[in-house]
Chains A and B, each alone.
Chain A
Amino acid sequence: MSLDPNVTPTTTMTANVPQIHLPRNAGTELDLDWVAAVQANTSAIERRAATLPGRRSVKKAHQAAWLCKAVSVIDLTTLSGDDTHMRVRRLCAKARQPVSAQILDQLGMTGLTTGAVCVYHDMVATAVDALDGSGIPVAAVSTGFPAGLSPLDLRIEEIRRSVADGAQEIDIVISRRHVLTQNWQALYDEMRMMREACGDAHVKAILATGELGSLRNVARASLICMMGGADFIKTSTGKESVNATLPVTLTMLRAIRAYEARTGFKVGYKPAGGISKAKDALVYLAMIKDELGDRWLQPDLFRFGASSLLGDIERQLEHHLTGRYSAGYRHAIG
């Protein structure tokens, strides 16, 4: 396997964990001058986000391939109070076979799986067991998700336990209050501690952008988390009233691009919550492609946090093969 960051890995090379291909983001010292210089003009960002869907269109075979790509980067997620072990096992089965074998066969995409399965800490061991041998990693939300307001030592301990249970990816939530009070040092320290607690498991920092008040705060928090060693930055828990949006995405992608330009580290991106249509997924992929480049269109640098998105993609893929619109019941639930 190539360790050259400039080589785009092929499908067969693609494993899901970033450190296999790329040098892991080591973080940097906290650079408050840089943070202070970051600006985000909401109206201009919204304009770019609003016009992008009209600028990029993916049709026919290309659309089918892009939708398969979307499947390959889904963190198939269940984060509900009523989750049970069997519920999680059902989800894992869907992660192994996200689209019917017959459709994948006709598309020439046999073996396609989702990017990961994402669960609460208590379900990690079950998911790891259910996914054994599939190569699909388990991601855990492990820091007092979704509010992140449990005691810091308990949040750190939760990370350690999730890692011990076999989670390869930890989705942490940041303390929004540190952003809202501009306490960048505290945010940075928290990110550093959590990164350290993750050890070899890679860490996605959830900004809960819907609660940060402004795109400027989103941009600055993105930067702090990357300085603190985040492998991914992620929009939302899915529990805020506003989750992933295109303007927020554009803001975070620009932060990732600036961070790479300054440090050389490629940091991943995960929009989560609210992306439920195949068409939306295509727009997100186009934005990643145009703003960050093709290298980011791999599961080690991009994920969708989604649950219902997959169902719509399955219908669209069947439509591609048959030329007729499909129905939900024709596809297995996850």
Chain B
Amino acid sequence: MTIKDIFDTMDYGAAPESSAEAMAWLADRGGIAGPFIDGTWGPLRDDITIINPATNERLAGLTKCTNTEIKEAVKAARRAQPKWEKQGGPARARVLYALARLIQKNSRLLAVMESLDNGKPIREARDIDIPLAARHFYYHAGLAQLLDEEQPDRQAIGVCGQIIPWNFPLLMLAWKIAPALAAGCTVVLKPAEYTSLSAMIFAELCQQAGVPKGVINIITGDGETGEALVNADVDKIAFTGSTAVGRRIRKATAGTGKALTLELGGKSPYIVFDDADIDSAVEGLVDAIWFNQGQVCCAGSRLIVQEGIAEDFYARLRRRMDGLRIGDPLDKSIDIGAIVDPVQLKTISDLVATNSAGDTYIAETPLPPKGNFYPPTLITGLHPADTLMQEEIFGPVLVATTFRTPAEAVEVANNTRYGLAASVWSENINLALDIAPKLAAGIVWVNGTNMMDAAAPFGGIRESGFGREGGWEGLTAYTKPNVKPKALKPIAPYSGNGAALGLDRTAKLYIGGKQARPDSGYSRAIYGPKGALLGQAPEANRKDLRNAVEAMNAAKGWSKTSGHLRAQILYYIGENLSARAAEFAARIKDMTGKSGTEEVDHAINTLFTFAAWADKYDGAARGVPFRGTALAMHEPVGNLAVFCESHWPLLSLVSPMAAAVSMGNRVTLMASEPFPLAATDFYQVLETSDVPAGVVNILTGTHADLAPQAAGHADIDAVWSFSPADISAVIEREAAGNLKRTWVNYGKDHAPGARDLLAQATEVKTVWIPYGE
């Protein structure tokens, strides 16, 4: 073509970034990617072929680590961990700083390798992935520097197994490794089998940065390799990937005592109100669903647009889609690159092919003749009942529906098993800031999408997983209290055969603000240490638990109350308990044989402590590098089920209850198994203290029977166990169903502090609010 021809057509032409350096880098290393264990490379074996998804041609070979190699890596990490932690935060900060600098200095090699390996546009690797990865190391260098002083009573969790996905290979590596290193952990990281190459470059940078051998180990392979790592001798598993695999990991680690954080899938809503800047909202979708070919866990993949503007919005969106350029990922004028692998391409194609609902629009933009490319696709006129409104497609396919009112927008948005992210578009600050807290999501972007930063916690609720990455919250997931928990000895209930003294008193369950007889119709006799019959405790079953959950749901308004109101009610409970202190102390003495005076006093004090916290456990405005603010807000988790500790009949009930209620949760408490009668007395205190019905529910019965029911109930958002009963494993295993948060003791007395309780009683929601007129 002559210049004159181009002058007439004004085509972009090709603008390819050279892959020469990256290909030479691979060739210099024999074209094989393999493990980096204890500071040493290899062995390098050509077990798996890595393809370039843009061409489907071979890019490199990959070693699939054997079980022995995986064990060696874990052992190396175990050996290196104590010294690495003992170096102290400031020493670790220097290493993290060096890694940040080295990523910047090698940014183009990393970007090109990422694009070759994953198929993502070079622009995204160059302008987003790599700078964010460097930023993550900078930020965590800072956290490491401050950690010893800021959190003196916490220590490193230990050896962390980390499994990352293929969609942001280096960035997810940074999200995993930076906080682990800052906290003093050592890691064994497994990159995804499709995309292990940037991790190889990173491992070389580790050598240059002076990371001691064994601190960072990288193992390569496929799903089996990851599974072996999950089952290896590690103290924590951090996983980012699909919900299905996350669920398997939850089951596999259940009861092992391994800490777990999961960052899973999503079907994030993208809500557009009729007063939004429509063109900007359309453009935002380019960054939401056509970023990284839609292979983004937090992609705004569910468009929910106000009915009155829907047709106009769709028309503008279709026009915008036609302007998207899809092709060679290394071309600097490309918006959309290749799908990572033919397997993924087929998944996307199949999901769209099986859908017959709505109207499907495929962008009128040319596709390259070969390689794994899928065109930008919009499916309008869907409804929540349609499969594609519920299932994660993980590709460049946007589904759309409409709403009438703000309340309906929230209802439609929250009608999902996931809860990762959400976008809200409106020029009305009242509306936008009203909607943001109502969305079931860990991250909400106001008039924007896919904003991320190391300082802003990232993570989901519901089946999008649990745990946060970024900020102090993310670091906390790699530390633990530096106390050694003692084994908790189960207490067998006392037996006897005496008759009850005085007039018969009937202890009942307390559900929805009412005293209720157990569904089973059974009660258990409770005897004192000397065999005196103290009373009968009802034996709650799954139906009583179900009723308690219904009651908690009916009390949703509690979560919207102010901290001030919740504090007043907690103080009032304390006041009323104080008025009956002698009675509770006597009851405790009857059941346990020990004086209850101190315990009652402690319980009152605990009520006051959480009353104090109710309006003081603040979120934070995070220092993210953009004009606006990212609010890390504390929200209640929702419906909690708590299995109480045994030894302290009253305190073990009051302490988790106060923490949960102070943060706006509704709670169902399974009372101390051997000593339940203080709990059944306690509901009378609740009844006189203005506690709304359903906010606190009390069940008595066998923990081992109720634990799988609570953990398996899809409408319970978290389960805590302080019980000496051996129920930790079953709770964690059953929790895999809806991937609820669990906090269990593995039969130990972990005596949590107030801040631990508060952290477990809250979700962190990050709300991004850009400014600017």
Task: Please list the residues of chain A having a beta carbon within 8 angstroms of any beta carbon in chain B.
Answer: 10-11, 39-48, 51, 54-62, 64-66, 68-69, 72, 107-109, 214-216, 254, 257-258, 261, 285-286, 289-290, 294, 297
Q: Which residues of chain B in 251-293 are interfacial with respect to chain A, using CB atoms and an 8 Å cutoff?
A: 275-281, 283-284, 287
Q: Which residue of chain B is the closest to A296 with respect to CB atoms?
A: B10
Q: List 11 A-B contacts (CB under 8 A).
A: A39-B278, A40-B280, A41-B280, A41-B427, A54-B126, A54-B332, A56-B12, A58-B333, A61-B1, A261-B315, A285-B10
Chain A residues near B2 (CB, 8 Å)? 108
Q: Is the CB of B7 within 8 A of A58?
A: no
Having A39-B276, A66-B10, one finds 8 other A-B pairs with CB under 8 Å, namely: A11-B4, A43-B448, A56-B332, A57-B15, A57-B333, A58-B12, A258-B279, A294-B10
Q: Is the CB of A62 within 8 A of B13?
A: yes
Q: Is the CB of B283 within 8 A of A44?
A: yes
Q: Is the CB of B4 within 8 A of A108?
A: yes
Q: Tell me if B753 counts as interface (CB < 8 A to partner A).
A: no
**Given A48-B283, A61-B13, A42 and B773 contact (CB-CB distance below 8 Å):** yes
Most buried by B among A43, A59, A60, A69: A43
**Given A55-B335, A57-B15, A64 and B3 contact (CB-CB distance below 8 Å):** yes
- Measured CA separation A257–B127 after assembly (Å): 29
Chain B residues near A62 (CB, 8 Å)? 6, 11-13
Q: Is the CB of A109 within 8 A of B7?
A: yes
Q: Which residue of chain B is the closest to A61 with respect to CB atoms?
A: B3
**Given A43-B628, A62-B13, A109 and B127 contact (CB-CB distance below 8 Å):** no
Q: Is the CB of A59 within 8 A of B15?
A: yes
Q: Tell me if B740 counts as interface (CB < 8 A to partner A).
A: no
Write the nearest CB–CB distance from B310 to chain A, whole angstroms: 15
**Given A39-B275, A43-B627, A54-B123, A69 and B7 contact (CB-CB distance below 8 Å):** yes
Q: Which residue of chain B is the closest to A258 with respect to CB atoms?
A: B279
Q: Tell me if B323 counts as interface (CB < 8 A to partner A).
A: yes
Chain B residues near A69 (CB, 8 Å)? 7, 10
- Measured CA separation A39–B315 after assembly (Å): 18
Write the nearest CB–CB distance from A41 to chain B, whole angstroms: 4
Write the nearest CB–CB distance from A247 to chain B, whole angstroms: 10
Q: Is the CB of B15 within 8 A of A109?
A: no
Closest 9 CB pairs of A and B: A65-B6, A62-B13, A44-B280, A43-B770, A57-B332, A41-B277, A57-B15, A42-B772, A39-B277
Chain B residues near A214 (CB, 8 Å)? 773
Write the nearest CB–CB distance from A156 to chain B, whole angstroms: 34
Chain A residues near B287 (CB, 8 Å)? 47
B3, B280, B284, B773: which contacts A109 (Cβ < 8 A)? B3
Most buried by A among B2, B13, B335: B13
**Given A43-B448, A61-B6, A55 and B277 contact (CB-CB distance below 8 Å):** no
Chain A residues near B771 (CB, 8 Å)? 43
Write the nearest CB–CB distance from B599 to chain A, whole angstroms: 55
Chain B residues near A58 (CB, 8 Å)? 12-13, 15, 333
Most buried by A among B275, B278, B627: B278
Q: Is the CB of B3 within 8 A of A289?
A: no
Chain A residues near B279 (CB, 8 Å)? 254, 257-258
Task: Please list the residues of chain B having a beta carbon within 8 angstroms of any beta carbon in chain A.
Answer: 1-15, 123, 126-127, 275-281, 283-284, 287, 315, 323, 332-333, 335, 427, 447-448, 627-628, 770-773
Q: Which residue of chain A is the closest to B279 with respect to CB atoms?
A: A254
**Given A43-B628, A44-B283, A57-B15, A289 and B10 contact (CB-CB distance below 8 Å):** yes
Chain A residues near B770 (CB, 8 Å)? 43-44
- Measured CA separation A261–B282 after assembly (Å): 16
Q: Is the CB of A11 within 8 A of B12?
A: no
Chain A residues near B8 (CB, 8 Å)? 10-11
Q: Is the CB of B13 within 8 A of A59?
A: yes
Chain A residues near B127 (CB, 8 Å)? 51, 54
Most buried by B among A42, A286, A297: A42
- Measured CA separation A254–B284 after assembly (Å): 14
Q: Is the interface of A mostly helix, strand, loop or mixed?
A: helix
Most buried by B among A41, A57, A69, A290: A41
Q: Which residue of chain B is the closest to A253 with respect to CB atoms?
A: B279
Chain A residues near B3 (CB, 8 Å)? 61, 64-65, 68, 107-109
Chain B residues near A109 (CB, 8 Å)? 3-4, 7
Chain B residues near A59 (CB, 8 Å)? 13-15
Chain A residues near B335 (CB, 8 Å)? 55
Chain B residues near A11 (CB, 8 Å)? 4, 7-8
Write the nearest CB–CB distance from B171 to chain A, whole angstroms: 17
- Measured CA separation A65–B12 after assembly (Å): 10
- Measured CA separation A258–B279 after assembly (Å): 10
Chain B residues near A57 (CB, 8 Å)? 12, 15, 332-333
**Given A11-B7, A294-B10, A46 and B333 contact (CB-CB distance below 8 Å):** no
Most buried by A among B1, B4, B277, B772: B277
Chain A residues near B1 (CB, 8 Å)? 61
Write the nearest CB–CB distance from B217 to chain A, whole angstroms: 35
- Measured CA separation A39–B12 after assembly (Å): 31
- Measured CA separation A42–B770 after assembly (Å): 9
Most buried by A among B1, B4, B315, B323: B4
Write the nearest CB–CB distance from B298 to chain A, whole angstroms: 17
Write the nearest CB–CB distance from B116 to chain A, whole angstroms: 18
Q: Which residue of chain A is the closest to B335 with respect to CB atoms?
A: A55
B277, B333, B427: which contacts A56 (Cβ < 8 A)? B333
A40, A55, A60, A72: which contacts B13 (Cβ < 8 A)? A60
Q: Which residue of chain B is the closest to A9 with respect to CB atoms?
A: B8
Write the nearest CB–CB distance from B449 to chain A, whole angstroms: 9
Most buried by A among B2, B283, B323: B283
Q: Which residue of chain A is the closest to B769 with respect to CB atoms?
A: A43
Most buried by B among A66, A109, A289: A66
Q: Which residue of chain A is the closest to B5 with respect to CB atoms?
A: A65
Q: Is the CB of A297 within 8 A of B332?
A: no
Most buried by B among A44, A48, A107, A297: A44
Chain B residues near A40 (CB, 8 Å)? 277, 280
Chain B residues near A64 (CB, 8 Å)? 3
Write the nearest CB–CB distance from B771 to chain A, whole angstroms: 7
- Measured CA separation A295–B352 after assembly (Å): 34
Q: Is the CB of B10 within 8 A of A297?
A: yes
Write the nearest CB–CB distance from A35 to chain B, whole angstroms: 14
- Measured CA separation A85–B10 after assembly (Å): 37
Chain A residues near B4 (CB, 8 Å)? 11, 65, 108-109
Most buried by A among B127, B279, B770: B279
Write the nearest CB–CB distance from B375 to chain A, whole angstroms: 18
Q: Which residue of chain A is the closest to B3 with respect to CB atoms?
A: A65
Q: Is the CB of A45 within 8 A of B280?
A: yes
Q: Is the CB of A55 within 8 A of B772?
A: no
Write the nearest CB–CB distance from B280 to chain A, whole angstroms: 4
- Measured CA separation A254–B278 after assembly (Å): 10
- Measured CA separation A5–B1 after assembly (Å): 26
- Measured CA separation A271–B7 after assembly (Å): 20
Write the nearest CB–CB distance from A256 to chain B, whole angstroms: 11
Q: Is the CB of B7 within 8 A of A44?
A: no
- Measured CA separation A109–B8 after assembly (Å): 11
- Measured CA separation A60–B2 after assembly (Å): 12
- Measured CA separation A72–B3 after assembly (Å): 14
Q: Which residue of chain B is the closest to A214 with respect to CB atoms?
A: B773
Write the nearest CB–CB distance from A301 to chain B, whole angstroms: 13
Chain B residues near A45 (CB, 8 Å)? 277, 280
- Measured CA separation A66–B11 after assembly (Å): 9
- Measured CA separation A55–B121 after assembly (Å): 9
Q: Which residue of chain A is the closest to B126 with respect to CB atoms?
A: A54
Q: Which residue of chain B is the closest to A293 with respect to CB atoms?
A: B323
- Measured CA separation A216–B772 after assembly (Å): 11
B7, B14, B427, B627: which contacts A39 (Cβ < 8 A)? B427
B5, B11, B15, B284: which contacts A44 (Cβ < 8 A)? B284
Chain B residues near A56 (CB, 8 Å)? 12, 332-333
- Measured CA separation A59–B1 after assembly (Å): 14
Q: Is the CB of B427 within 8 A of A55?
A: no
